[in-house]
Amino acid sequence: MINEKSNLPPFESVESKSSKIYNYGYGILIGFTFIFIVLILFALPFLVGFDKNVLIISFLLFLTIVLIVLYLKKTMKHTTTIIDNLGIHYINRFNNKVIQVILWDNFQKVEDFKGEIVGVSSSSDADLLKCDVFSKMIGRGKYSHQAFFWFILDNNKVEAHKETFSGNHIFSMIYSNKLELVRGLLLGLAHFRPDLKIHSKAFSLYYINPDNFEVDYEKRREDLNSATFIMILVVIVVVFVMLFVFF
């Protein structure tokens, strides 16, 4: 699909909204887990003394602490995503630091990209790689998720950019207005970069009408209800099978 529209809806900037209950609950859980493991690590030798088993357990606890620290370091970046007439801004609201800015002019054509994209196959996803902006499901099973891909100029080199429209901070990971952010991106591209080709799935996966850029919330609600019903049905079947097998 090529952005060549004359009657576009007006573009308005959009800012991400965090799902505070989930985000703060998750962040507090990680914090308490970290503190609890640290306390056990220091208290264990005094409670049970030193022996080989204690040393092994202490090492495993220390390794867990290191992994949590690395995870926290990785997830202490942007909390907020803003899409405006300049481009996309990634901001950390806790320290008011701008993490990254992608201007509309930074978007590049796919033919200028010479590398490979993790999760995107040059054979099975050949139709996607004909477009400058596309979206697809990546990962497997419970780790699968939707992601956007586009190409930007970074240090005089065209790189692939992956976007999931979520925060990168333990207190701001889930956005409650993801569909509005996607709409803002697509409408912004239509206004400011009509030369770029956008794959049709970038619209359909997020329930966005490519003609008027309206979000079909009713269709999304129906799909969520159907998915929930199927999950409940699967759980019921599994429970009955377990009861039949074990009792």
Sequence-distant (6+) residues with CB within 8 A of 179 are: 206, 207, 208, 215, 217, 220
Sequence-distant (6+) residues with CB within 8 A of 135 are: 146, 147, 148, 149, 199, 201, 202, 205, 206
CA distance 207 to 192: 22
Is the CB of residue 55 less than 8 Å from the CB of residue 45?
no
- Main-chain dihedrals φ then ψ at residue 134, nearest 5 degrees: -150, 165
3-state SS class at 186: helix
pLDDT of residue 75: 66
CATH 2.30.29 fits 14-18+79-116+125-238, yes or no: yes
- Tens-digit pLDDT profile for residues 102-131: 999 999 999 999 888 887 876 778 889 899
CA distances from 129 to 145, 178, 186, 198, 210 (A): 19, 24, 17, 10, 19
CA dihedral 10, 16, 20, 26 (to 10 degrees): 150
Element (H, E) at 187: helix 178-192
Regions of the chain where pLDDT drops below 70: 1-6, 23, 75, 122, 141-143, 172, 243, 245-247
pLDDT of residue 91: 92
Residue whose structure tokens are 């912004």:
188
Polymer length of the chain? 247
